[in-house]
Amino acid sequence: MTRVALFTTCLVDQLFPDVARAAVRVLERVGAEVDVPPAQTCCGQLPFNDGFWDEARRIARHHLETFADAEAIVTPSGSCAGMVRHFYPVLFEGDPAGVELARAVGARTYELSEFLVARLGLTDVGATFPGRVTYLVSCHGYRELGLYEAPLRLLRAVRGLEYVALPAADECCGFGGAFAVKMEPLSGAMLRSKVDAVRETGAAVVTGTDVSCLMHLGGGLSRAGAGVRPLHLAEILARDETRP
Amino acid sequence: MTADHASDGPIEFLDHARRVLDDPAFQHNVGHAVHVFRARRAEVLKDFAGWEEWREQARTIKAHTLAHLDTYLDHFDRNVRAAGGQVHWAGDGAEARRIIGDLARRRGVRRIIKSKSSTTDEIELNPSLERDAIEVTETDLGEFIVQLGEEAPIHFVAPAIHRSRAEIGALFAAKIGAAPTTVPEQLTRAARTYLRERFLRAEMGISGVNFGVAETGTLVVFENEGNARMVTTLPRIHVAVMGMEKLVPNLAALAVMLRVLPLSATGGRMAEYVSMITGPRRAGEADGPDELHVVVLDNGRSRILADREVRESLQCIRCAACLNVCPVYERAGGHAYGSIYSGPIGAVLTPLYQGLERAGTLPFASSLCGYCQEVCPVKIDLPKLLLVMRRRAAAAGEGVTPFERLAMQGYAWAAATPTRWAWAGRALRAALRPFVRGDRIPRLPGPLGSWTRRRDFPAPPRASFLDGGGASGRPDAGTGSRDA
């Protein structure tokens, strides 16, 4: 049996606990034994991206200690997985022990869909989700982890799901962490383009690999009264015949 | 920091951006142009074999040249002179302006024609020549348009993409007495008629340099209109202004750039005109200037070269591919960046050249989507450079507010242990609760109010995932379910 440690992420933990429950359900359904290290908090990306590297390093150290012994670390976020795998070695530059631990933990860190498809070789995880669904590409997962096919393959294997491609999918939705607040007029303009693109698809649900982007897009959709629901990919994959 | 901008105030990126965000014509024009560039590039790349290998070669060439720049500059200097050209070394913009101004004065130059050169924009050459009562005419069509409009280029490859045909028609009618029209062919004919005269009577031509070939002392100029060829051959004096990082070792290296630059810039399979200039006109030759002067500009570049963490920014070949894909550039436009270098590369270079005090906000003008890095033909890690510049800005107290600093420090304190994390999470979720209306928060107070200006915030759950028992809290046992 595959043992995985769930790296919940700060946003999922604090604001979207259903997403973590859904991730656990999916992982268990495919036969993984899921452990949730209770000491985990956050990966530190928020302060890192805002220029506060000392603060980020403090959080990153805690994250590395928490997950140092895990065989496989799975997270419902491409952005947080990218932070650990791609940017921790940058953050610890000049500290060889830190870099080594960062690389070791990074090599065992997977975004959920990546873990299911690339590591476990699965595309059908036994999900049923009736409805028209479009998929929001999240930039960090897409460009830092090369995540694109995996989520789509999982979605296409969901029974009852009608997948409809989002126009201009490779363009950022405008979330960008602190950018969303600091550069609000630009973030808002980018959001407007994405809201229009989602509406154009006629989808009832927009899904993706990151609650951060989905929270931003969902907030825009709800403000626009678009009637399109944001759901994390894990929440779609968690639905099945027994609990639609 | 260069002395040039010491007295200028900070670049107010967001104020500029706000103005053009409210200008639908601007949004349409710039958005349309960058999407055309993007689509053309993608079209050519469809059947372009081994693009990633080309990029890797281009990166290797530039990184290698920078690592041995002293040697290559030496070769370049020797070979330009051997071919009959003169080389001038300018430590900063003021020195470059003085060199060119003195030369113009000594040769009695009254009229100068120019082809596109971001480097001369960087050193603000035109105003200084005009102060000496010299007539300076930009001959690239886009540059000509912004010169007539008395504004800065909006994009360093395509300077006038923010202007519609109608605006250009009106501008030509007002400034050069052209018949009012919006037909592109008639507009270009009006510009050609006006410029032809200037081409013929100018005593000096000033060009930029896309690449300097160290091995041969050759100056290479890429263009699509033919004007740069005339600028570099018609007047009796040709002055080429080159940033010192623009070298490639040899012609084989140049061959790689011949492919990657036009493709990245405009989606062209090749540039319409590539001029390779080795020395002035020689005995027996019909074309070319009597004198060739190369002004090699440092202006902060050797400082950046010595700064390992950001050195790769000097690999830039000014193709503007990063501008064309940047969602922030597309909406904010080039002027918001406060210098000729806009978009993601400008957000890195301008604070390096002009200092964080003036340009500390720029590195934050990115959602870090990484599209720029994906297209950069010399593989500059722009997101990483933006992050490094953010770190330096924050350390210098630029680009971040005191509230932000406090928030980040508080966040790091809370996230350092699980007990604090749980406690802080509970406190924050409780603090949000009074603002919940139905299943959402339509309005947040204080600095977070900018989140809710255009988007709702989700209603917080009662318990966090970890608080609610983590995995053991499933299925849906926790009261944290949003749907509950």
Does the structure show a pLDDT above 60 at B474?
A: no
The reported pLDDT for the residue numbered B468 is 83
Q: Is residue A93 over pLDDT 90? A: yes
- Beta strand B457-458 with B440-441 is antiparallel
Does position B127 have pLDDT exceeding 80, yes or no? yes
What are the structural domain ranges in chain A? 3-118, 123-238
Residues B133 and B7 placed together within one structural domain of the fold: yes
B327: in domain? no
Q: Please tell me the distance in Å from B155's CA to the nearest CA on chain A.
A: 18
Residues of B in contact with A183 (CB under 8 A): 14, 17, 328, 364-365, 367
* Candidates 1.10.287, 3.40.50, 3.30.2420, 1.10.260; CATH matching A123-238: 3.40.50
Domain that holds residue B140: 3-303
Name which of A41, A53, A180 is nearest B421 (Cβ-Cβ): A41
Retrieve residue B231's tokens.
Answer: 């600028």
| Residue of B13, B16, B312, B367 to mutate, testing the A interface (most A Cβ within 10 Å of its Cβ) | B367
Nearest to B400 among A51, A188, A222 (CB): A51
The verdict on a CB contact (< 8 Å) between B416 and A62 is: yes
The pLDDT of B146-160, averaged and rounded, is 98
Residue B457: inside a domain, yes or no? yes
* pLDDT above 90 for B446: no
- E runs forming strands in chain A: 3-6, 33-35, 73-75, 109-111, 128-136, 159-164, 205-208, 229-232
pLDDT of the residue at B8: 78
pLDDT score recorded for residue B213: 98
User: Both ends of chain B: CA-CA distance in Å?
Assistant: 57
A155 to chain B, closest Cα gap in Å: 22
Mutation target for A interface from B20, B386, B454, B456: give the one with most A CBs within 10 A.
B454
Contact map slice: B 446-475 vs A, CB within 8 A: 447-448, 450-458, 460-461, 463-466, 468, 470-471, 473-475
- Asked if the Cβ–Cβ distance from B471 to A188 is below 8 Å, we say no
Report ipTM for this prediction: 0.97
B286 with B426, same domain: the answer is no
In a domain, B11, yes or no: yes
**Which residues numbered 38-97 in A keep a CB inside 8 Å of some CB on B?**
38-42, 44, 46-56, 58-59, 62, 87, 90
The pLDDT of residue B475 is 41
Q: What is the pLDDT of residue A241?
A: 79
Identity of residue B210: N
pLDDT value for B4: 65
The arithmetic mean of pLDDT across residues B208-214, rounded, is 98
Helix (H, G, I), strand (E, B) or coil at A161: strand
Please give the mean pLDDT across all residues of chain A: 97
Cα(B35)–Cα(A187) distance, integer angstroms: 19
> pLDDT for B331-367, tens place per residue?
999 999 999 999 999 999 999 999 999 999 999 999 9
The predicted-structure confidence for B273-331, as pLDDT tens digits, reads as follows 999 999 999 999 999 999 999 999 999 999 999 999 999 999 999 999 999 999 999 99
* Alpha-carbon separation of residue A89 from A65, A107, B35 (angstroms): 15, 11, 35
User: Could you tell me if residue B314 is inside a domain?
Assistant: no
Q: Which long-range contacts (CB under 8 A, 24 or more apart) does B161-170 make?
A: B161/B29, B161/B30, B161/B33, B161/B34, B162/B20, B162/B26, B162/B29, B162/B30, B162/B333, B163/B29, B164/B25, B164/B29
| A183 vs B365, B392, B466: nearest CB | B365
Dihedral pair phi/psi, residue B11, rounded to 5° = -75, 120
Residue B242 has pLDDT above 50, yes or no: yes
A192 contact residues in B (CB cutoff 8 A) = 454
Question: Do residue A17 and residue B453 have CB atoms under 8 angstroms apart?
Answer: no
CB neighbour burial string for A73-86, b if at least 16 within 10 angstroms, e if fewer: bbbbbbbbbbbbbb
At which of B303, B329, B348 does a domain end? B303
- The per-residue pLDDT for range A95-149, each reduced to its tens digit, is 999 999 999 999 999 999 999 999 999 999 999 999 999 999 999 999 999 999 9
In terms of domains, do B409 and B291 share one? no
Pairing of strands A229-232, B247-248: unpaired
What is the tally of helices (H) and strands (E) in chain B? 21, 12
User: Is B184 part of a structural domain of the chain?
Assistant: yes
> What is the identity of the amino acid at B57?
Q
Mutation site, A3, A4, A14, interface B, largest B CB count within 10 A: A14
Given a cut of 70, whether residue B478 has pLDDT beyond it is no
pLDDT grade, residue A203 (50/70/90)? very high
Could you give the number of structural domains in chain B?
Answer: 2
Q: Which amino acid is at B19?
A: R
Which of residues 315 through 334 in chain B touch A, CB cutoff 8 A? Answer: 327-328, 331-332
| B348 falls within a domain | no
State yes or no: pLDDT of B480 exceeds 80: no
Q: Which of B256, B287, B303 is the last residue of a domain?
A: B303
Chain B stretch 235-254, residues whose beta carbon is closer than 8 A to a beta carbon of chain A: none
The answer to whether the CB atoms of B366 and A143 lie below 8 A apart is no
User: Which of B265, B282, B303 is the last residue in one of the domains?
Assistant: B303
Considering only alpha carbons, which residue of chain A is nearest residue B449? A181
Residue range A206-223: average pLDDT?
98
| 8-state DSSP, B308 | T
Residue A8 and residue A15: Cα distance in Å, rounded?
Answer: 11
